[in-house]
Amino acid sequence: MRIPTIIILAAAARALAAEPLEARWDGSVQIPGHELHVVIDLAKQGELWTGSAIVPGYAVKGAPLSGISVQGNEISFTLKGALGEPKFTGRLSDDNTLAGEFLQAGNTAPFRLLKAGAAQVEPPRTGTAVSKELAGEWQGELALNGTKMKATLTLTNPASGPATAQFIVVGKRENKLPVELVRQDGDWLLVEMPQYRMTYEARYLPDSKELTGIFAQGPLETPLVLHPAAK
């Protein structure tokens, strides 16, 4: 009976040592006139904290948290690369509620999060090179907010490292969108432009030699089919 007793005691010790802030947190930020739904994942690896965030409807999924600081039941962190990089400062109460202030561009709003299960921190996504079929210039048309616009996506593989991209949308004027991530997974292509809360996710169809997918800006989505530019 000695071995089972040791196992039980070890499990109890781990439970007692568990960090109360280590979890998935689900709730909202009460921005004036708008409720922003957020999901925050926090986990501790050794002495270091890691985290990621999901903001449904804003093309934010697995965005990394930086500057995570935990002092007892108090925590602060910054959401990197999305929504203007807001800062969260909060405190865990006895009823397992994490509440505090959301600070963005000098404005503050209260937030309240409830524990929703074990942490599911997403590792930082990294870009990839693209296949020879996708490298080059692509063109198409999209309609956003009732306005038709021409779209041009140029994908380039450098000598080493992930692909780079130039995304240009032309309506009443030309808009060069800053691309931060290009990732290909099989026939699927993902292009992220978090500064403007934009993404383009498409599938390459080899028979028709086209990219067919969805261009999104925050909660707004519109189909976008791209074809290789005429040479």
At 5, the pLDDT band (50, 70, 90 cuts) reads very low
How are strands ordered across the β-sheet holding 136-144?
Answer: 174-177, 164-170, 147-156, 136-144, 220-228, 210-217, 198-205, 188-193, 181-185
pLDDT (0 to 100) of residue 58: 79
Residue 99 scores a pLDDT above 70? yes
Tell me which of 60-64, 137-141, 165-169 is least confident. 60-64
Antiparallel, parallel or unpaired: β 48-55 and 34-45: antiparallel
Q: In the 8-state DSSP scheme, what is residue 194?
A: G
pLDDT value, residue 8: 42
Confidence (pLDDT) at 231? 66
Mean pLDDT lowest for which of 4-18, 54-68, 80-94, 126-140? 4-18
pLDDT-based confidence at residue 171 (cuts at 50, 70, 90): confident
The pLDDT of residue 102 = 97
**Which residue intervals of the chain are DSSP H helices?**
2-17
pLDDT tens-place string over residues 40-55: 999 998 889 999 999 9
With a pLDDT cut of 70, the percent of the chain lying above it is 92
All structural domains of the chain, each given as residue ranges with its CATH number in brackets, are 2-117 (2.40.128.120), 136-228 (2.40.128.120)
Give 183-207 pLDDT, tens digit per residue.
999 999 999 887 787 899 999 999 9
pLDDT in tens, 126-153: 899 999 999 999 999 998 878 899 999 9
Rounded CA gap, 167 and 175, in Å? 8
* Whole-angstrom distance, CA of residue 168 vs CA of residue 95: 49
Question: What is the mean predicted confidence (pLDDT) over 162-174?
Answer: 93
- pLDDT for 11 equals 40
Q: Which residues pair with 84 in a beta bridge?
A: none
The model's pLDDT over 15-37, given as tens digits with 9 standing for 90+, comes to: 334 689 999 999 999 998 889 99
pLDDT surpassing 80 at residue 218: no
- Residue 9: pLDDT over 50: no
pLDDT for the residue 82:
80
